[in-house]
Every structure is written in structure tokens, then in C-alpha cells.
């Protein structure tokens, strides 16, 4: 078990090197000319300036040397300079990461809560209309194109009925709370500004629901099937024989055993969350790294999209590693080899 | 000659499939619905140009008209008929998803089979490549590749094949590793069959079920990712009536909800259809992993 975790940990740096190498190859293939981003257009005809810039950015060096420099820069957290914002990509990402995290964490909470309750409902009332409705709701969530459901829900709840405000993290011309965590909701609470907290929460609600709904399907499915499996096990029969009501068998006995499959699926939902976050941010004009990546990709700004890709991969690898560790830790029966 | 493969030895002889009608009868209702929905879209792709629809690229009415008897799903910002565009959109999405899944299956299965059968260096190199590829969040890898290659559906398709092949490599490798140990393979080797013959004739034919089931499910996911890339601006380019780019047009004309409605429902129907059908097929062929 420990040996397994150690082996996974050792693999991570190699996988990251692989990710970085792929990113380097892509950067070399890109059609966007890095020079165009660095040299003002009217100076492009001046070979002296062009050469000086090339030398400064190392563009005149042979490929293997550039590769080494690239990896070295990455190790120091230097993801290059964006062609469009002309700022270091790492600065851009650091600035926008809290917005994405706030959205993803809120969505994860909504998705898990919804998935657990729907899974419980449909296992308890298996084969009834409640079961059917819960499963359909979950299935539709994971099958909908998120950029479409976001749009339609935004139209219904914001334009038609004005229940929630429009896009963005706060209404226009409202100053964000002083930066502590970067999460507007939490920062507003820390600052003791209740109206601001309400506004931030109202803006967060719909995008977080849209994103959470997308992962509800997977969670409901796994919770339902493991609960139903649990209800037919010997321990459930014993509990019933001792007079436990069905609700208690479900919550007290089957549910704890359903936590292990749920844990393994959470790592898997992370991939959905990243995909969903990119598209949700695009629809809701949410100033996170997803909308940054979309803008970068549309303007063929490779350093920016490459930077987001590397950061996303690091998060992805860590999430999968944590899932594996949590899984092995939660279930000592599992012999990992 | 009565042959029992070692897989089923000791079990009562299973009736071989009496053709497609037998398969159809054993499918669950949801899977039948899924299959019919997919059939509808395939027929649409093949025959849509014969339908009495408005020209999807021409201005046929006033702009931004809500749904009416004349324009079932209204008109878009350029006065084009949204219903006609949604139907014609299938011509883009369905064949592209088919090509992407087919390429990913062929590339992934070939590499996975080679890795599993020959082992050693082949295995190490191919599987490390798989490990690195799946270290990327799918949409970000697809966006990065598409951004490097430039916008356009062909490039977006290449990006999606790059995202999807590792799944099939892993599936096929696991199958080959398992089936390689079967006694009939040992018998074939003892009988002097060459290595490629053993792989091609004695192992691979037993390995397809998980791949085909996965391919069915992935078909919908590819439609979804292709639409996502188009929505972002990396896939189809206007004025082609691709579902993702139609939704992105709808996103800019916020108050005219009907522009995005049709293509969204179309994507939903394909994704639902493939997951229904995939689930049903898995119940039939691959009970263990269900």
C-alpha cells in the first residue's frame, strides 16, 4: 500500500516532464509567430532590432537548448508571455485562479449534495416514479451541452424572471472585497459586508448550479448502484432481522459502504469539472482561467493556452493521486498492486 | 465441427446469435429507443438534402422571428431558418464524430494490441505515451492542439483523436493480456502458428466487445466535445450550420432563445441515444464490467 503510493509519487515528476515536453512540441508547431508578439509591427523590417529581440528571448538558439531553457523556466514557474495580454502567463493565471476555484468548489458541493440525495431517493424508492424522475434529472445533467444549459437557464432565471443577476462575479461598478482568499463570497464575509456577500453569492449560484448539475449524473448513478447493492448484502439482512427500519438500513448501513465508490468517482468527475468550468466561464463571463483559456485559444495565443493546459494537468494529476490514496486508505481490503 | 472456446467450457452451450433480429429482441427498451434515435440522425444525414426544408444558408424570412408555423424554430440574426439549420447541422456533427471515433479506435486498438501482445519495450513506450496523454484534462489538450493547428473542423477532429486514442489502447491492451493466457492460444502456438497469426486470428476476435461498447458511448461525447470546440471558435467556422457554432451565435443574441434551442436539443438527443444504446449493449455483452 505504502509502496504503491510511493510508486505513484515517483511517477508524477516523469508524467509532468511528459506534459511539459508535449507542451514544448506544441509551442514549436504553433502558427502564431512569437516575434510578432514581441516586436512592434513597424520595427519588424529592422533586422537589428529583430535579432536583438531574438537574442534576448533565446529564439536564436538551437532547438535542444531551447527545450532545456523551456523546462528550466517551467521549473521556476515561468510559463512564458501571453501574446495577447503581453504579461507573464503565470501572473495572468494566478490572478484568475481564485475565481475558477470558487466556482469549481461551489459546483462540487452542489453536485455532491444533489447526487447523494438523488441517489438515496432513487435507491429508497427503487422502481417507482421518484426513482425514474431522479435518474432522468441526473442523466440529463450529464448529457446536456453545458454551454447550452447555461445559456437557457441564464435566459429563464435572469432575463425572464430576474431571480438571479446576470453574468460576472459581481454587478458592474461594484468594488470587490479586500483580497484575502480570492473567493468573493468568503472575502465579503471576512470584511463583514453582508450585502456584498449576498451579491457575490447570487452571482455564483447559477453558474455553480449549471456546473454542479453536470457532475450530478455520475454521482447519482454510482451512489444509487452501490446503495442497491448494499441493501442486498448480508449486513443489511442482519440489520433488518434485528428490527431496523428500512430507512435506518439505508442511511446507517448501506450509505457508509457507498462512500468508497463515491470517493473513486470524485477523481473522475474532476475531468468533467475542468471541461465544464471552461465552458461555464465562457457563458457566464466568469473571469477565471477557463474564460482566459477560451480567449487565448480563439486568438491562437499559444503561451497562454499552453500555460493553462500545464496548470490544469498538474491539478488533474494531483486530484487523481489524492483519489487513489484516499481510496486505498478508506478501504483496507483493497490490495493495490 | 463443434467448437467450444475455453471461455465457455463447462457452461451450457450458448446459442450463437441468430442474426441481428435476435440481438434486437434482447436489447432493453431504452437501448431500442437510443438505437432508433441514432438511426433517425443517420437517415437525416443521408437524406436531409431531399427534405422540403428552407435553404440553411439563405435569408428566408425576417430576422430574429420567434417560432411560428412557417419557421418551426424561428429565424436567426440573418433571417435563416433555425429548424432547417439544425437538421443540416447533423451533416457536420454525425460524420465527424464517426470519423473521430473510428480513427481513435483503429489507432488506439492497434497500439494497445501491440503493447499487450509483444510486451517489453513496445509496451513501455506505448503505455508511457498513453499515461502522458491522459495526464491532460481532455478539453484543454484539445484546445491547445486545435489552437496550434488553427481553427477548422479538420484540425478539431485531429485534436479529438489525440484526446481519445489512449482509452482504446488501454482497453485493447487489457483484453489482449487476458486472452493471451487462454488455452486455445497456447494450443495455436504449440501448433506452430506465427505470432501475428496468433494475435490476429486467435486473440483479437475475442477482444472487441468492450471496445465497441465504449465506442458507442464515446460517439455522443465526441459530438459534445466537437460542439464545444466550435462553440469556443476552434471548430466549424460560420456560416456552416454546425450545432456548437449555432449555439454560440445564439449566445450573442440573448433574447432570442430559439436560436440556440434546436441545436442544443439535437446534441442532447445524440448524447442520450448513445448512452442508452451503450448501456444496453454492455448489459448484453459485457456483464462483468456492468
Give the one of A14, A143, A155 whose C-beta lies nearest to B272's C-beta: A143
Name the grid cell of B230.
Answer: 466550435
B267 sits in which H/E element:
helix B258-285
Domain with B128, as residue range(s), is: 37-48+64-289
Is residue B287 predicted with pLDDT exceeding 80?
Answer: no
Domain A94-330 has CATH 1.10.3720.10: yes
pLDDT at B41: 94
Min Cα separation B274/chain A (Å): 10
Q: What is the 3-state secondary structure (H, E, C) of B137-177?
A: CHHHHHHHHHHHHCCCHHHHHHHHHHHHHHHHHHHHHHHHH
- Give the SS3 label for residue B124: helix
Lowest mean per-residue pLDDT among A211-225, A251-265, B18-32, B259-273: B18-32
Q: What does pLDDT average to over chain B?
A: 85
Chain B residues touching chain A at CB-CB below 8 Å: 128, 131-133, 135-141, 143-150, 220, 224, 227-228, 231-234, 244, 247-248, 250-251, 254-255, 257, 260-261, 263-264, 267-268, 271-272, 275
Write the CA distances from B19 to A91, B16, B23, B26, B180, integer angstroms.
Answer: 62, 9, 7, 12, 28
Q: CA-to-CA distance for B219 and B175, rounded, in angstroms?
A: 21
For A97-138, write each residue's pLDDT tens digit: 999 999 999 999 999 999 999 999 999 998 889 998 998 898
pLDDT at B284: 81
Q: Return the closest-CA partner of residue A326 out of A271, A268, A252.
A: A268
Residue B25 lies in a domain: no
| A203, burial (CB in 10 Å: exposed 0-12, middle 13-18, buried 19+) | buried
Q: Which chain B residues are Cβ-neighbours of A151 within 8 angstroms? A: 247, 250-251, 257, 260, 264
Name the grid cell of B100.
Answer: 473521430
Q: By percentage, how much of chain B surpasses pLDDT 70?
A: 91
pLDDT at B3: 45
Residue B29 lies in a domain: no
Residue B165: beta bridge partners?
Answer: none
pLDDT at A117: 93
Asked if A81 and A88 count as a contact pair (C-beta separation under 8 A), the reply is yes
Residue B17 lies in a domain: no
Q: CA-to-CA distance for A148 and B251, rounded, in angstroms?
A: 9
Is residue A166 predicted with pLDDT exceeding 70?
Answer: yes
Is residue B23 predicted with pLDDT exceeding 80?
Answer: no
Q: Nearest residue of B to residue A309 by CA position? A: B140
Domain spans, chain A: 15-75, 94-330
Q: Nearest residue of A to residue B136 by CA position? A: A313
Residue B256 lies in a domain: yes
CATH number for the domain spanning B212: value is: 1.10.3720.10
> b/e per residue, B81-113, with b = 16+ CB within 10 A?
bbbbbbbbbbbbbbebbbebbebbbebbbebbb
Q: CA-to-CA distance for A63 and A71, rounded, in angstroms?
A: 12
Is residue A95 predicted with pLDDT exceeding 60?
Answer: yes
- Give the SS3 label for residue A88: strand
Q: Which chain A residues are Cβ-neighbours of B264 within 8 angstroms? A: 144-145, 148-149, 151-152
Residue B15 lies in a domain: no
Residue B26 lies in a domain: no
Min Cα separation A178/chain B (Å): 31
Q: What does pLDDT average to over chain A?
A: 86
Give the one of A18, A271, A302 whose C-beta lies nearest to B138's C-beta: A271
What ipTM was predicted for this assembly? 0.85
Count of structural domains within chain B: 1
Supply φ then ψ for residue B81, to 5 degrees.
Answer: -75, 120
Rounded (to 5) percent helix, strand, coil in chain A: 75, 0, 25
The reply to whether A141 touches chain B by the CB within 8 Å rule is: no
Residue B57 lies in a domain: no
**Total-model pTM:** 0.86
A177 DSSP 8-state letter: P
Of the pLDDT bands very low, low, confident and very high (cuts 50, 70, 90), residue A33 is low
Is residue A45 predicted with pLDDT exceeding 80?
Answer: no
The reply to whether A305 touches chain B by the CB within 8 Å rule is: yes
pLDDT at A332: 64
Residue B4 lies in a domain: no
For B94-153, write each residue's pLDDT tens digit: 999 999 999 999 999 999 999 999 988 989 999 999 999 998 988 999 999 988 888 888
Give the one of B135, B247, B272 whose C-beta lies nearest to A15's C-beta: B135
Amino acid at each position: 500500500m505504502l509502496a504503491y503510493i510511493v510508486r505513484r509519487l515517483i511517477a508524477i515528476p516523469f508524467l509532468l516532464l511528459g506534459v511539459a515536453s508535449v507542451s514544448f512540441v506544441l509551442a514549436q508547431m504553433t502558427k502564431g509567430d512569437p516575434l510578432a508578439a514581441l516586436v512592434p509591427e513597424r520595427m519588424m523590417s529592422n533586422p537589428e532590432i529583430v535579432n536583438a529581440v531574438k537574442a534576448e528571448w533565446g529564439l536564436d538558439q538551437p532547438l535542444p537548448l531551447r527545450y532545456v531553457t523551456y523546462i528550466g523556466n517551467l521549473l521556476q514557474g515561468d510559463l512564458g508571455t501571453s501574446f495577447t495580454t503581453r504579461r507573464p502567463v503565470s501572473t495572468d493565471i494566478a490572478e484568475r485562479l481564485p475565481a475558477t476555484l470558487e466556482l469549481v468548489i461551489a459546483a462540487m458541493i452542489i453536485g455532491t449534495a444533489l447526487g447523494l440525495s438523488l441517489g438515496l431517493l432513487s435507491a429508497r424508492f427503487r422502481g417507482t416514479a421518484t426513482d425514474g424522475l431522479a435518474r432522468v434529472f441526473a442523466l440529463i445533467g450529464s448529457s446536456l451541452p453545458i454551454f447550452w444549459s447555461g445559456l437557457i437557464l441564464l435566459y429563464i432565471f435572469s432575463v425572464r424572471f430576474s431571480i438571479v443577476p446576470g453574468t460576472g462575479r459581481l454587478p458592474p461598478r461594484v468594488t470587490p472585497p479586500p483580497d484575502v482568499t480570492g473567493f468573493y463570497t468568503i472575502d465579503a464575509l471576512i470584511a463583514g459586508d453582508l450585502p456584498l456577500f449576498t451579491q457575490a453569492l447570487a452571482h455564483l449560484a447559477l453558474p455553480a448550479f449549471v456546473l454542479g448539475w453536470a457532475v450530478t449524473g455520475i454521482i447519482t448513478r454510482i451512489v444509487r448502484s452501490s446503495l442497491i447493492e448494499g441493501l442486498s448484502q448480508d449486513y443489511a439482512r442482519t440489520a433488518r432481522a434485528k428490527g431496523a427500519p428500512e430507512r435506518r438500513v439505508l442511511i446507517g448501513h448501506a450509505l457508509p459502504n457507498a462512500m468508497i465508490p463515491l470517493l473513486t468517482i470524485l477523481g473522475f468527475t474532476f475531468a468533467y469539472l475542468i471541461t465544464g468550468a471552461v465552458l461555464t466561464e465562457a457563458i457566464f463571463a466568469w473571469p477565471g482561467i477557463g474564460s482566459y483559456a477560451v480567449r487565448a485559444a480563439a486568438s491562437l495565443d499559444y503561451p497562454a493556452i499552453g500555460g493553462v493546459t500545464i496548470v490544469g494537468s498538474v491539478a488533474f494529476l494531483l486530484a487523481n493521486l489524492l483519489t487513489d490514496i484516499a481510496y486505498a486508505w478508506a478501504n483496507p481490503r483493497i490490495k493495490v498492486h | 465441427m463443434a467448437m467450444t472456446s475455453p471461455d465457455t467450457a463447462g457452461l451450457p452451450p450458448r446459442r450463437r446469435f441468430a442474426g441481428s433480429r435476435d440481438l434486437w429482441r434482447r436489447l432493453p427498451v431504452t437501448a431500442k429507443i437510443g438505437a432508433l434515435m441514432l438511426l433517425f440522425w443517420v437517415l437525416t444525414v443521408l437524406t436531409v438534402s431531399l427534405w422540403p426544408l428552407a435553404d440553411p444558408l439563405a435569408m428566408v424570412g425576417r430576422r430574429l422571428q420567434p417560432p411560428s408555423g412557417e419557421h418551426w424554430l424561428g429565424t436567426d440574426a440573418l433571417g435563416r431558418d433555425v429548424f432547417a439549420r439544425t437538421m443540416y447541422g447533423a451533416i457536420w456533427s454525425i460524420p465527424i464524430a464517426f470519423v473521430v471515433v473510428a480513427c481513435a479506435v483503429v489507432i488506439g486498438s492497434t497500439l494497445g494490441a501491440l503493447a499487450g501482445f509483444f510486451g517489453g519495450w513496445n509496451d513501455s513506450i506505448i503505455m508511457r505515451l498513453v499515461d502522458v496523454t491522459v495526464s491532460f484534462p481532455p478539453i484543454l489538450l484539445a484546445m491547445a492542439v486545435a489552437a496550434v493547428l488553427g481553427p477548422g473542423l479538420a484540425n478539431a477532429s485531429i485534436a479529438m483523436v489525440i484526446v481519445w486514442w489512449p482509452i482504446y489502447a488501454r482497453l485493447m491492451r487489457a483484453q489482449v493480456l487476458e486472452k493471451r493466457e487462454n488455452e486455445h492460444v497456447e494450443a495455436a502456438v504449440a501448433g506452430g502458428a506465427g505470432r501475428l497469426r496468433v494475435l490476429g486470428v486467435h486473440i483479437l476476435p475475442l477482444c472487441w466487445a468492450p471496445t465497441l461498447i465504449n465506442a458507442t458511448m464515446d460517439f455522443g461525447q465526441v459530438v459534445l466535445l466537437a460542439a464545444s470546440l466550435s462553440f469556443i471558435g476552434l471548430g466549424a467556422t460560420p456560416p456552416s450550420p454546425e450545432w456548437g457554432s449555432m449555439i454560440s451565435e445564439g449566445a450573442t443574441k440573448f433574447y432570442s432563445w430559439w436560436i440556440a434551442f434546436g441545436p442544443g436539443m439535437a446534441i442532447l438527443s445524440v448524447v442520450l441515444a448513445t448512452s442508452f444504446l451503450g448501456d444496453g449493449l454492455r448489459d448484453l455483452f459485457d456483464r462483468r464490467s456492468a
